[in-house]
Amino acid sequence: MYVRLSGRALINIHTANAEGAIGNYISLSKMFVVRRLPNGGLDYFEEPVISGNMLKHWHAVETVNILKSMNYGKICEYCRRYVMYRSPLKYNDEFDYIKNCAIEDLHGFLSTETNIRRESVVRFSFMVPVEDLKSKYMAITHNRVGVTKEGKIDESLMMVFKREHATGLYGFSISLDLAYVGKSQSDPSKALDIDERKLRAKAALQALANLLTGSFGASRVRAEPIIKITELVCVASKKPVPNLTHGFYKDYIEDSKSRIESLRSIGFTGESVRVYVIGDRVTQAFGELGIRCDNVIELVGKLMGDVEKWFT
């Protein structure tokens, strides 16, 4: 089973990605994007962005939390502690890593000692402010207060610092090749039993719901993203399918629909491809081609039902 998602999220007052501090000033991660202009030209704009690496990390964290809640034990020591850096395992076969750690199965790994590697089956683009609306950002002043043993404020311990926060309509794209969950990429004949593969695939989808409702980003204890998914197009397929058009582009709905219709024209029928949509604009554009969902949790629930029916 293969899942492709593209959409937009309204995110207010976030500081999800930062580039470190210069003195007492913490700036957001920024990058240039190219926008199409009304006159047909192109221009560069600097925007605060949220990296795919950030999103991938928090998806792994949420997957660990879900698996722990199921009392599922096959998570390595590092991943159990949310250290998604490098595998502590030292096997000479990719499948041994898969058997012993669900996160290395889903999110991939590289062992520098044995030169064994696995590609991640979960992939995230950068979240970027959309083509048709620039974001806004500014710094907010915070202060840290130190107190003495007597409870009095110690001015020598006080520290004023500034941290940038942004607000905008962000586009994103996500893909999950769930067909490879619990299965060796180097030798596909090696696979976990079907029930365990389904469990891991469903956990990865549940983690996606947590992520897209705000469980990501730096400084979450004081600036958890104020997020609302405004639009989403999702394709679930029994066979590999191309990615959808990134939610950054103002015509991503029409372009994604065109891609899906082209898939139908070459033999991807409704029995092997399902389309789920969120948002009035997307629902209207897709018509009978899309199955409307009211929110991302409902959509993920339908995908989990597809795992149960389609997983082989």
pLDDT at 200: 98
pLDDT at 285: 96
- pTM assigned to the model: 0.93
By the 10 Å C-beta count (0-12 exposed, 13-18 middle, 19+ buried), 162 is classed as: middle
pLDDT at 20: 79
Tokens linked to 248: 């950054």
Instruction: Report the alpha-carbon distance of residue 214 to residue 265 in Å, rounded.
Output: 37
pLDDT at 19: 86
Ranges of the chain with pLDDT below 50: none
For strands 2-14 and 136-147, give the pairing.
unpaired
Q: What angle do CA 129, 216, 15 make, to 5 degrees?
A: 55
Q: What is the largest CA-CA distance in the chain?
A: 76
Evaluate whether 164 touches 27 at the Cβ level (below 8 Å): yes
pLDDT at 219: 85
pLDDT at 4: 98
Q: Which residue has the tokens 């207010």?
A: 12
For the chain, give every domain's residue range: 2-70+119-133+168-310
Evaluate whether 203 touches 210 at the Cβ level (below 8 Å): no
Residue 310 per-residue DSSP state: H
